[in-house]
Amino acid sequence: MNGRVVSLGDRADPARDVVMVDGKPVHLPAWRTIMLNKSAGLVTSRKDPHATDTVMSLVPPIPGLHPVGRLDKNTTGLLLLTNDGELTFALTHPRHVVDKTYRAWVRGIPSNDALHRLRQGIPLADGVTAPAQVRRVFTRADRTLVEVTIHEGRKRQVRRMLEAVEAPVISLSRVRLGPLALGDLPEGQWRDLSEDELASLYKAAGVSRRPA
């Protein structure tokens, strides 16, 4: 790299460094992070032999692009995809507390006691959940829209938490991840993050911003 032999653990900056293998230049991909409004019915994976469609069918074929964390097959909403492995590791590692906010239509009207239990932590098969932020947003005759913010990443966690307080989920969507909000991005569509969004995301993840 740049005329010297690299060692294990060396890092290359696509914007500044020249990497050669056997005398031939290696073209490094530019760092790219995009936001997708995931549709229901898609598996959050690069490849899945058991699934007809994955989220990769909705995004461009960017080298190294992969989902950051997971959304359940039937959950919609904000999903990040990036080719920056360091950012992915930081956002998904338990030591980094990155809030995730969901909106769920649930059956019935959760009681104040149910909301209190969610805020205190719910015993699940894999342990007690961390305290969540929960509020009612809108109530109809037979269903309620609730907003739940967590920072853990257990499988089907929000659905299991709500089921545990007898508020089964009808539909679920993630509307915020750390400093990023889904906003009015249509379902099934994606967009690049803005410079301000990228800066705030890297800050929330606790890692240095990668050069463009």
Q: Domain spanning 33-95+183-205: which CATH class is it, in words?
A: alpha beta
Tens digits of pLDDT across the chain (212 residues): 456 766 654 555 554 555 556 666 655 558 899 999 999 999 998 876 666 789 999 999 999 999 999 999 999 999 999 999 999 999 988 777 789 999 999 999 999 999 999 999 999 999 999 999 999 999 998 999 999 999 988 899 999 999 999 999 999 999 999 999 999 999 999 999 999 999 999 998 888 876 66
CA 118, chain centre distance (Å): 21
Cβ-based neighbour number of residue 63 at 10 Å: 10
Smallest CA-to-CA distance from 79 within 107, 128, 46 is with: 46
Active site residue 196: no
List the structure tokens of 16.
Answer: 């500044």
Catalytic residue (choose from 72, 84, 126, 192)? 72
Fold of the CATH domain 100-177:
Alpha-Beta Plaits (3.30.70)
| Count, residues in the chain | 212
Burial of 62 from C-beta contacts in 10 A (0-12 / 13-18 / 19+): middle
List the structure tokens of 134.
Answer: 């929960």
Contact indicator for 110, 136 with CB cutoff of 8 Å: yes
Alpha-carbon distance 96 to 204, whole Å? 8
Smallest CA-to-CA distance from 38 within 54, 49, 51 is with: 54
Alpha-carbon distance 91 to 138, whole Å? 31
Query: What's the whole-model pTM score?
Result: 0.84
Tell me where in the chain the CATH 3.30.70.1560 domain(s) lie. 100-177
Tell me where in the chain the CATH 3.30.70.580 domain(s) lie. 33-95+183-205
